[in-house]
């Protein structure tokens, strides 16, 4: 199969590319930074150099494609993120339809049943619908909160044994490792027997609140970790100080508010189709602890 991947350097995309290449599929990757995807091209991926918001680049990449993996990346540069993300997603769907691409996997998010009031997630509803209109066989994966998001707390965990949250620390949410999302995406991309449109809300192995997260991280990292709930203003100041543009910080605060209010609640029950295997303890031992140890060694 010839499969196009639009975010080959991301946490999910690079695993998708690796698994597809291991299975001997022809993989076309879109990137404007060849150095970031050098490991993939060294393994045989074909690079379409350019940006996913360039219509001609995506158009050329989709020539002769059997499937498309589409993930809308977080991007700080567009002034209007939702408009930019929706535009490029709808355009990619239309191009896939024009090239008669039979299959697509779209990475979305829990909460994407809403097209507003959910921060940056708000673009996903329209992108999902665009692909379902244009491509006959579409699998939409709506994952919960990425375990990799915890890596943003490495500095404060190393320095003070603390991490910070905007939504209530007692509220449980589904945590998922991005490698598990990638594995499900690969299975859907290569499953030529599946037909029609399918939607799965990927929820990891269990829901965890921030107190449980802190306890698990403490066990894995072998030092006491505490979770601290902050205000909107504190969260906003921290994000802006960390390089997040003010406008995007406001979008993230809207998302946190939607989480806290239950607006971003999932619509599917936990079960075999929505659960994934990697536990937070496993992730913390394999990924987070080495990162904290490295920070402590500096």
Q: What is the DSSP string of 122-189?
A: GGHHHHHHHHHHH-SEEEEEEE-EEGGGGGGGHHHHHHHSEEEESS-TT--EEEE-HHHHHHHHHHHH
Length of the chain: 298
* Residue 106 predicted with pLDDT over 80: yes
User: 207-208 and 173-176 as β-strands: parallel, antiparallel, unpaired?
Assistant: antiparallel
Q: Please write the tens of the pLDDT for every residue from 224-246.
A: 999 999 999 999 999 999 999 99
* Residue 79 predicted with pLDDT over 80: no
Matching residue, tokens 């707390």: 153
Confidence band, pLDDT 50/70/90 cuts, at residue 210: very high
* Residue 298 predicted with pLDDT over 90: no
> Is the CB of residue 123 less than 8 Å from the CB of residue 86?
yes
- As a whole number of Å, the CA-based R_g of the chain is 19
Tell me how crowded residue 22 is: count the other CB atoms within 10 A of its CB. Answer: 10
Q: Please write the tens of the pLDDT for every residue from 183-209.
A: 999 999 999 999 999 999 999 999 999
Query: Which CATH fold would you assign to the domain 2-144+177-202?
Result: Rossmann fold (3.40.50)
């Amino acid at each position: 199969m010839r499969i196009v991947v639009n975010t080959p350097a991301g946490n999910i995309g690079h695993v998708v590319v690796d698994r597809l290449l291991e299975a001997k599929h022809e993989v076309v990757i879109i990137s404007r930074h060849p150095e970031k995807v050098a490991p993939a091209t060294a393994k045989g991926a074909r690079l379409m150099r350019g940006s996913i918001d360039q219509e001609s680049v995506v158009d050329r990449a989709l020539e002769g494609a059997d499937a498309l993996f589409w993930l809308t990346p977080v991007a700080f540069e567009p002034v209007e993120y939702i408009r930019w993300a929706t535009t490029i997603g709808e355009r990619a769907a239309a191009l896939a339809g024009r090239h008669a691409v039979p299959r697509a996997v779209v990475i979305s998010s829990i909460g994407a049943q809403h097209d507003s009031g959910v921060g940056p997630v708000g673009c996903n509803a329209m992108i999902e619908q665009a692909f379902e209109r244009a491509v006959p066989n579409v699998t939409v994966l709506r994952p919960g909160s990425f375990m990799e998001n915890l890596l943003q707390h490495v500095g404060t965990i190393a320095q003070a044994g603390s991490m910070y949250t905007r939504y209530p620390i007692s509220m449980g949410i589904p945590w998922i490792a991005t490698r598990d999302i990638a594995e499900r995406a690969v299975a859907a991309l290569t499953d030529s027997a599946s037909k029609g449109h399918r939607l799965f809300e990927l929820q990891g192995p269990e829901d965890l609140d921030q107190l449980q997260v802190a306890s698990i991280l403490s066990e894995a990292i072998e030092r006491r970790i505490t979770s601290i709930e902050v205000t909107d203003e504190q969260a906003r100041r921290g994000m802006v100080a960390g390089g997040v543009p003010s406008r995007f910080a406001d979008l993230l605060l809207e998302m946190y508010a939607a989480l806290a209010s239950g607006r971003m609640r999932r619509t599917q029950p936990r079960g075999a189709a929505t659960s994934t295997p990697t536990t937070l303890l496993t992730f913390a031992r394999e990924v987070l602890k080495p990162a904290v140890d490295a920070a402590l060694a500096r």
